[in-house]
Amino acid sequence: MDPPVFLQQQFARFYSSHPLSVESVEWREFGTGEWKQKISSRHMAFGSQEEFNRFLAERAPLYVSASAAYYEHPSAKPMEAKQWVKGDLVYEFDADDLKPECFLDHTFWSCPHCQTKGKGAPDYCSSCGERVQVEEWTCPECLKATRRELFRLLDVLEQELGMREGFSFNFSGNKGYHVHVRSPTWQFLSPKARVELVDYLSGSGLEWPKLGFEARSGGFRLPSGPQSGWSRRTYDYLNSLLAEGDYAKIAALGGVREADAKKLLNDPSKVLVALSEGFVPSGLGKKNEAFWMKLLSAALECNRIRLDRSTSIDSSKLIRVPNSLHGETGLAARVLSREQLKEFEPLHEAVVFGPDSVRLEGVRAPKFFLGGEFFGPFADESAELPLFAAVYLLGRGNAHGIVV
């Protein structure tokens, strides 16, 4: 049996017994996707939850997404005719945007031209120079890193921007998490205003002098006293970096020799006091400016939130319906409370299909973790797997077919 047909049969069974509930369903535009195409048709609308769930059970799309926007006429075409009313703020985090350390360990490339294979995600083949195909996997570690980034976002949203209500969280169904903010204080923001929020979160367009940081050959000036937002986070970064006193690390970050870093910090407590008072006299002469600018860049890199920009600023974006199935994994985009989120193990708890055994052909996969167990590795072989793992491999394209 063809993988898409099999997947749709499974999805139909799931949807007919697990109705979804979409917030303000009648105001949203919907889109669905098929095999290898996350959105293949859009401009759909449903008058009620029941109508939407009937559609899911009958058509069993491999992907189903809804607009963050609320429209007067969600199915109208073109986009302007829909008449935008308001829109949730949406933030998305994906392991492949973060590239945590483990990520390259379970990312593989292969060259369609010369069949060379390797680990990591280069753009071009190392032996023939052609474009390569990249296959990404996830593991509990990178999903944890993605979740940490989400909690960093929440800190900034709440403590700095004052966003305090209307949060809804869900797993994306594959490599990350989504945050929806449904609060009337924020839902009416213009597209440009949303860009401002994203720029703030990701630190783009940040100008140090405007925040009171100035590196000169004569010394390094920074805002003193209680500081806000970016300047406080920057100060905290510099303060803890210098307090830690790891000369090798400071030298590497600041682009100077270790001896220079030592010279600058020969009396660390003095430097820390100077930092808190807002002026650190030059210890490095001509190199001073470049040194502090590099440390500021390191602070920015550390403090910026690495979210998916396009999701947050595209006002017509369609986003996976919470609790729906992801066609590439068969995992559910589980809605999670903040408490649940802290402990959530997606590769275990987002599994929805059962343990019934299925025989697959042409299975190729490295060792992977799913549903609390490890599977594989498989080298183009036939294998007997529980249904949830079979759906996962078929959806990803790591198996050819099902023996019925």
Partner 1 sequence: MSVSEQLRFAYRYPFSSAARSIVAASGLSLGHVSEELVGQARSWLLRKPGEKKPVLSDSAFSRKLEEEVLSFPVAKAIVSQTNASVLMDGFALSVAYWCSESVQKEDPSGLLDLAQELGLKPDLLKAKPILVCILVPDFVQAAAGVSSLKLVNQRVENGNVFLGRSEMEAVLIELIRSRVRSSLPVKIGPVPSLIAQAANEVVNEHKKRRKATALEGIQGTIVPSLFPDCMKELYSRLQEGRNVPHLGRFSVATFLLSIGMKSADVVALFAKTPNFNEKLTRYHVDRLAEGPKGKVSAPSCAKLKEYGLACTDCRFKHPISKYVHNLKNGGENPADH
Only segment of 109-117, 160-168, 237-245, 305-313 that touches Zn ion (CB under 5 A): 109-117
DSSP E strands: which ranges in 63-144? 63-67, 69-71, 84-87, 89-94, 107-110, 117-119, 133-136
CB of 154 to partner 1, least distance (A): 14
141 binds, among Zn ion, partner 1, none (CB under 5 to 8 A by kind): Zn ion
Stretch that binds partner 1, among 2-10, 52-60, 205-213, 349-357 (CB under 8 A): 205-213
Which residues 161-180 are close enough to bind partner 1 by CB under 8 A? 161-164
* Cα 193 to Cα 199: distance, rounded to the nearest angstrom: 10
CA 214 to chain centroid, in Å, comes to 33
Q: Which does 325 bind (CB under 5 to 8 A by kind): partner 1, Zn ion, none?
A: none
Among 169, 230, 235, 344, binds partner 1 (CB under 8 A): 230
Nearer to partner 1 by Cβ, of 60 and 153: the residue is: 153
In the bound state with partner 1, the residue whose beta carbon lies nearer, of 198 and 280, is: 198
Task: Pick between residue 232 and residue 262 the one whose CB is nearest to partner 1.
Answer: 232
**Which 3 state secondary structure label does DSSP give 304?**
coil
Q: What are phi and psi of 313, to 5 degrees?
A: -110, -10
The one segment of 3-11, 182-190, 326-334, 338-346 that binds partner 1 by CB under 8 A: 182-190
Query: Angle at Cα 92 formed by Cα 375 and Cα 325, nearest 5°?
Result: 50
By C-alpha distance, which of 108, 91, 199 is closest to 147?
91
Q: Which is nearer to partner 1, 168 or 187 (CB)?
A: 187
Beta carbon of residue 205, minimum distance to partner 1 (angstroms, whole number): 5
Other beta carbons within 10 angstroms of residue 93's beta carbon come to: 26
Residues 121-160 that bind partner 1 (CB under 8 A): 159-160
Is residue 112 near Zn ion by the rule CB under 5 A?
A: no
Is 128 near Zn ion (CB under 5 A)? Answer: yes
> Least CB distance from residue 86 to partner 1, whole Å?
12
Binding to partner 1 in span 45-104, by CB under 8 A: none
Task: Assess contact for 250 and 242: CB atoms under 8 A.
Answer: yes
User: Parallel, antiparallel, or unpaired for β 214-216 and 219-221?
Assistant: antiparallel
User: Is residue 119 close enough to count as binding partner 1 by CB under 8 A?
Assistant: no
Judged by CB under 5 A, the residue of 25, 69, 102, 250 near Zn ion is 102
Element at 177 (helix H, strand E): strand 176-181
Q: Does residue 235 sit in helix, strand or coil?
A: helix
Q: Which runs of E-coded beta strand occur in 205-350?
A: 214-216, 219-221, 279-281, 318-320, 335-336
| Residue 125: contacted member of Zn ion, partner 1, none (CB under 5 to 8 Å, by partner type) | Zn ion
At how many degrees (to 10) do helices 247-254 and 229-244 cross? 130
In the bound state with partner 1, the residue whose beta carbon lies nearer, of 192 and 286, is 192
- What is the separation of C-alpha 60 from the centre of its chain, rounded to a whole number of angstroms? 26
Least distance between Zn ion and beta carbon 129 (Å): 7
- Residue 142 binding result from partner 1, Zn ion, none, given CB thresholds of 5 to 8 Å by partner type: Zn ion
CB of 122 or CB of 212, closer to Zn ion: 122
State which H helix or E strand residue 358 sits in. strand 357-365
Instruction: State which of residues 13, 113, 263, 367 lies at the interface with Zn ion (CB under 5 A).
Output: 113
Whichever of 89 and 145 has its CB closer to partner 1, that residue is: 89
Return d(Cα 146, Cα 119) in angstroms, integer.
21
In whole angstroms, give the CA distance from residue 44 to residue 248.
58
Residue 84 or 369 with smaller CB distance to Zn ion: 369
The one segment of 193-201, 256-264, 279-287, 354-362 that binds partner 1 by CB under 8 A: 193-201
Tell me if 108 sits within 8 A of 138, measured CB to CB. Answer: no
The token pair at 340 is 């649940």
Structure tokens at 183: 């609060």
Task: Pick one of 120, 205, 218, 377: the residue that binds partner 1 (CB under 8 A).
Answer: 205
Residue 147 neighbours by CB under 8 Å, 6+ apart? 93, 177, 341, 344
Q: Which residues bind Zn ion (CB under 5 A)?
A: 102, 111, 113-114, 116, 125, 128, 130, 139, 141-142
Q: Which residues bind partner 1 (CB under 8 A)?
A: 159-164, 185-186, 188-190, 192-193, 195-197, 199-200, 203-207, 210-211, 227-232
